[in-house]
Structure 1
Amino acid sequence: MEIPFISKFIKAMDKPVENTLTSNYTYLFGPTTSGKLVNEFTAMQTSAVYSCVRILAEALASLPLHIYRYKEAGKERVYTHTLYHILHDEPNSEMSSFVFRETLMSHLLIWGNAYAQIIRDGAGRVVSLYPLLPNKVEVGRNSSGEIYYVYTPNAEENPHLKSYASYNLRRHEVLHIPGLGFDGLVGYSPIAMAKNAVGMTIATEEYGASFFANGANPGGVLEHPGVLKDPKKVRDSWNEVYRGSTNAHKIAVLEEGMKYQQIGIPPEEAQFLETRKFQINEIARLYRIPPHMVGDLEKSSFSNIEQQSLEFVKYTLDPWVIRWEQALQRSLLLPREKREYFIKFNVDGLLRGDYQSRMNGYSVGIQNGFLSPNDIRHLEDMNPIPEGEGGDFYIVNGNMTKLKDAGVFANKVRSE
């Protein structure tokens, strides 16, 4: 199956000329000072990285995503636009909107870039969106200054692309959401930028695993008063009986005057647990995740968890939301639509706070005339009060009046 708009481009321009491919940053991964290999897959095997990526990917994927039209007095949601169903329900026939956004967000958090192929109809309108793996995409600029993308799949990951063939995709055929970068064109991988911190996390996890694999005891020396003819046999027989977490705390029987001398530093003295905890906070700092969201409740309490959660939305999630919104508007809306429509996530539900705080805020809003009962019911996902029963009235507290009108009523009584 040919891709709309792509076949003509490939025939006219088999290979871009005078290009500079700038998106392949895999060389930034690799060995670290801890001696551990760090890449996108080994990083995700650590609980801290996996937890942070999952928190952000699921948070963004769960937000309502709508298309709005500008009005003279505000905005209105547009359900009839072709993009509404694609973004809100099904970007393609194989994925829900949640899975699609969760996948692209995980790409963005691991590789620093998220790509999706845009399938359009003859009028240029978006028909469907398919994710593209970032490590198989290269971004370039041809001699005329036009940005293009080269994608080389190696599996049946996209029904519109054949395997083991490079595809040149033009700018209007790719949804590209870049992360933090240095050239404004592509983003850098957070994992690659902080690979030493991730490598140390991997090293501490492996040390803990090997510690328990050795019976939760450090290494030691078997001392024999005489000369052993076959020391390897003695060592192997000791390991066979006492090595491993399942053999921990077994009673050792030493013969022929042998003694066991422990060497090495116990994990408590090496502050192993503190190191692991610090590395978890280090990864949480990398993704700007509050520690309590990755299971560290040491400095959390009932009085500050809510505030930390609100700060997570404002300072962590909101920048990602804006990055997504602007990329969607730039790539998916037609040029003639950009002045009339805009795409927006709804994060209001995450910022509402606890029930009592919301009710107190609504009470202030009604008494000061900037909220009606139906406004509040809409915010709380409740059906409106029927028309004619006062649900849309805006009222103010009658005990308050303008400063210049203070005493007018009393003067009027005296004159009468």
Structure 2
Amino acid sequence: MGIIKKIGQAVKNSFTWSNENDSWEVISLSDPKGWEIPRNNMSEITYYICLKILSESIGKLSIHLKDGEGIKITNSDINYLLKVRPNPYMSPTDFKTLMEFNRNHYGNSYALIETKGNKRVALHPLDPRKVKIIVDDGKLLKHDATYVYEYEENNRKYFFEDKEIIHLKGGLSRNGIVGKSVAEELAGTIKGAVEAQKYLNDLYSRGLTANAILEYTGELNKEKKKELVRTITEFVRDRDNGNIVPIPLGMKLIPLDIKLTDAQFFELRKFTSLQIAAAFGLKPNHLNNYDKSSYSNSEMQNLTFLIDTLLYILKKYEEEFDYKLLFKDEVEKGLHTEFNVATILRGDLKSQAEALQKYVSTGIYTPNEARSYAGMPKFDGGDVLMVNGTYVPIDDIGKAYEKGGEK
């Protein structure tokens, strides 16, 4: 990759870490000693839905650069990266969606900050499976940073200081340095869900017919047994036969009557799906499960989703962007990044109209700000805050009833 530059001193292959000098290495997912994400996890529908919802929820939220008074800053290279184009290949939505996908699926997401002088020019996502974090507590590397990121591309290793890499952690980190994916934490649960889907697919392929025992008299060698089973199986799976299976004289086909309802198959699948969704911080309604809720209270469900799930994730993004993207003098001036969560909290048209009316009448929004929120153009004279003319300062309450305005 042309944008990757080599910095610092390469770690020799013979270099070892030991607990005696308090230096240690955090294993990446791609390392043979690490935990490898199973490839078939994405085929599990609940796991895929959870990844999709979280990734798209972060991707659709706009993020702004603001000053200490909360005013948006538009003439900044940071604003261009976050709102227009983080790199030549991705839109901001694609970038945020990919970062959130990597954070959840692999446990960590990384992006290289490309700079030219004091200008930040691009954000390039890195493959999490090719990244290692080397913690240098023993100061054995010639770096000022406490830890460095090692990235391997085309059999070459590159090393970056922590300020050069945006690092978003997933799950519950054990050490605060690397995250852990939900797939790693729930490996057994997700594997069970995958196996359940395989069983159901196999049942469909057999025309929803259960396993059976073929009873016959006499002796057959191994090859003849296989041929007999193959012939009967072909008749069972052939839809043109009208579910009629011819059995030779003297043989009897006894189905094994294992009912899915008796095994509580669907109840167990539903419970497993809810467990996986809960691990991601998603509610049953995200899985189209409205047993204890309804579609009509979607506004309250969105508020719950924002408070219980998204706020923590958004705070991670904002803190990482503020520390890695902004220079020290910019932070001291009060500059910060902030997600706009208003799109999540929007209700129906009636609720929006009532809220905007209250904001304007109480002097929180100007009429033009309310019109902009509703997607309408501004008008002259609409940038003035307005309140009810009968309002008076709290210290002046009652003076209107005093004679001459004096005691």
Q: CA deviation at 1:82?
A: 1.0
Structure 2: distance between partners of 1:197 and 1:57: 22
> Could you tell me which of 74, 83, 103 is aligned with 1:88?
83
> Is 1:290–2:283 an aligned residue pair?
yes
> Could you tell me which of 135, 155, 162 is aligned with 1:141?
135
Q: CA deviation at 1:408?
A: 4.8
Q: What letter corresponds to residue 61 of structure 1 in structure 2? A: G
Q: What letter corresponds to residue 85 of structure 1 in structure 2? A: Y
Counterpart for residue 106 of structure 2:
111
Q: What letter corresponds to residue 162 of structure 2 in structure 1? A: R
Greater alpha carbon shift after TM alignment, 304-313 vs 208-217:
304-313
Q: Please give the residue correspondences for 1:270-349 in structure 2 after superposition, counting only pairs within 5 Å.
A: 270-340=263-333, 341-349=335-343
Residue aligned with 2:258, SS: coil
Give the 3 Å change call, closer, same or farther, for CA 182–362 of structure 1 in structure 2: same
Give the 3 Å change call, closer, same or farther, for CA 273–322 of structure 1 in structure 2: same
Counterpart for residue 227 of structure 1:
218
Counterpart for residue 191 of structure 2:
199
**Post-superposition CA distance 1:172-205 (Å, at most 9, x none):** 2211112230211111111101111111111111
| TM-score (structure 1 length as normaliser) | 0.83
5+ unaligned residues in a row in structure 1: which ranges?
Answer: 31-38, 154-162
5+ unaligned residues in a row in structure 2: which ranges?
Answer: 18-22, 140-144
Q: What letter corresponds to residue 195 of structure 1 in structure 2? A: A
Structure 2: distance between partners of 1:106 and 1:47: 15
Q: CA deviation at 1:234?
A: 2.3
- Contact 1:204 / 1:275 at 8 angstroms: preserved in 2? no
Q: CA deviation at 1:68?
A: 1.3
Q: Please give the residue correspondences for 1:15-414 in structure 2 after superposition, counting only pairs within 5 Å.
A: 19-25=23-29, 29=35, 39-70=37-68, 74-121=69-116, 123-142=117-136, 143-144=138-139, 146-153=146-153, 163-179=154-170, 180-224=172-216, 226-229=217-220, 230-243=224-237, 246=239, 250-340=243-333, 341-387=335-381, 392-396=384-388, 398=390, 405=397, 408-409=400-401
Structure 1: distance between partners of 2:359 and 2:74: 29
Structure 1: distance between partners of 2:190 and 2:66: 41
Give the 3 Å change call, closer, same or farther, for CA 251–14 of structure 1 in structure 2: closer
Give the 3 Å change call, closer, same or farther, for CA 151–391 of structure 1 in structure 2: closer
| TM-score (structure 2 length as normaliser) | 0.85
Give the 3 Å change call, closer, same or farther, for CA 42–258 of structure 1 in structure 2: same
Give the 3 Å change call, closer, same or farther, for CA 272–8 of structure 1 in structure 2: closer
Q: What is the identity percentage for the equivalent residue pairs of Structure 1 and Structure 2?
A: 24
- Contact 2:6 / 2:158 at 8 angstroms: preserved in 1? no
Structure 1: distance between partners of 2:383 and 2:120: 40
Give the 3 Å change call, closer, same or farther, for CA 318–23 of structure 1 in structure 2: farther
- Contact 2:130 / 2:152 at 8 angstroms: preserved in 1? yes
Give the 3 Å change call, closer, same or farther, for CA 346–291 of structure 1 in structure 2: same
